[in-house]
Amino acid sequence: MSNFGLFVRGNRGNLILDGTNPVLVQRETGNIHVTWTSAKGMGLYYQGYGACEVVYQTPVPTQEPPLVFGTPDSISAGGIGHFTHRGGPGNWTGFCMTFIDSLRYRVRRISSSNPVGPRVGQFTGWQYRVCSFGQLPQSTAKWGMRLWSKTLRSDHELIFDSGWPLVPFRGLLQDWVQNGSGGYYEPESYWGNSFWNSTQIDDANRYGEYRHTWGEGSDLGILLSSLCAMDVVADAGNNIRIKTLPMIGFHDSSRQNLYCTLAYGTIQHAGTAGPALNNFGLLTADFSRT
């Protein structure tokens, strides 16, 4: 931050705007749908899962990857996670995520009246919000405020425009509590090729479920692009460090709690899953201005 110029701070002293850093803006939004599916299981039980591939209408030209948030639009019993960017610096073209048909793994029984898993085209219940720091064209607004600054990218870069769809951060989700544990899931479908290449994955895997107070409408977004592999410590005779994939979702229309399922990856429990989630600190943002 420069020693002189324009600075705007919030009630808690947080920096909202200054003369050198572009603000966070929304570039694009859309629904996340399932694009392909699969289902594997043991005996009569299965875990349905699929991929959600999204291609941006316009590639994002930033060097750093865009921040992709998700806002809940309707209720789905499934969970979403395992985010992967598509494209690269200067040309981010989209992303892919994994969708599971139930946050509680392998709870369904295969029968003629209970078809397998998610369906191609199924809405996951989430909208995506692609965001970047500035780098949008000047808005068409006739009134308001614009701020230019000399940055690493340009001598006269537009870093704030009151006509832009602005996205302020809201904070981190760091108050997760355990909601239960148990059940088994199909490790091969969850871990893919890693199932055959690791001595730390067993076919009697367990999962844990955690909840966090939500109680928000559809304007609060969570940073989906941070939902990737997370380290936890599990008890397998000796404590070992393993990878787990956080999958998030809601159980009912009240949205009082956001739930996160963590598959542990070994036969024993992962005692550090809750603290790891709190330290992970999923970022949220306010999309009421977009």
Q: What is the rounded distance in angstroms from the CA atom of residue 268 to the CA atom of residue 118?
A: 29
Domain boundaries in the chain? 7-161, 169-286
User: What pLDDT shows up at residue 16?
Assistant: 60
Q: What is the rounded distance in angstroms from the CA atom of residue 16 to the CA atom of residue 175?
A: 25
Q: Considering only residues 53 and 163, tell me which one the structure prediction assigns the higher pLDDT.
A: 53
User: What pLDDT shows up at residue 185?
Assistant: 44
User: What pLDDT shows up at residue 287?
Assistant: 92
Closest CA to 73 of 210, 282, 250, 259: 250
Q: Collapsing DSSP states into helix, strand and coil, what is residue 277?
A: helix
Answer yes or no: is pLDDT of 68 > 50: yes
* Percentage, residues of the chain above pLDDT 70: 66
User: What pLDDT shows up at residue 278?
Assistant: 79
Least confident of 91-100, 168-177, 240-249: 240-249
Are 279 and 230 in contact by the 8 Å Cβ rule? The answer is no
Answer yes or no: is pLDDT of 84 > 70: yes
pLDDT tens digits for range 262-283? 766 444 455 566 777 877 788 9
Least confident of 58-62, 140-144, 173-177, 181-185: 181-185
The predicted model scores a pTM of 0.79
Backbone angles phi, psi at 50, to 5 degrees: -160, 180
Residue whose structure tokens are 């956080």? 246
Question: Could you tell me the strand order of the sheet in which 220-223 lies?
Answer: 24-33, 123-133, 67-72, 220-223, 282-286, 169-173
Q: What is the rounded distance in angstroms from the CA atom of residue 138 to the CA atom of residue 145?
A: 11
User: What pLDDT shows up at residue 105?
Assistant: 58
pLDDT tens digits for range 233-259? 766 566 777 777 888 998 877 788 999
User: What pLDDT shows up at residue 181?
Assistant: 55
Q: What is the rounded distance in angstroms from the CA atom of residue 74 to the CA atom of residue 262?
A: 22
User: What pLDDT shows up at residue 147?
Assistant: 75
Band (196; pLDDT cuts 50, 70, 90): very low
Q: Collapsing DSSP states into helix, strand and coil, what is residue 35?
A: coil
208, burial (CB in 10 Å: exposed 0-12, middle 13-18, buried 19+): buried
How large is the average pLDDT for residues 59-67?
Answer: 93
Band (133; pLDDT cuts 50, 70, 90): confident
Answer yes or no: is pLDDT of 204 > 50: no
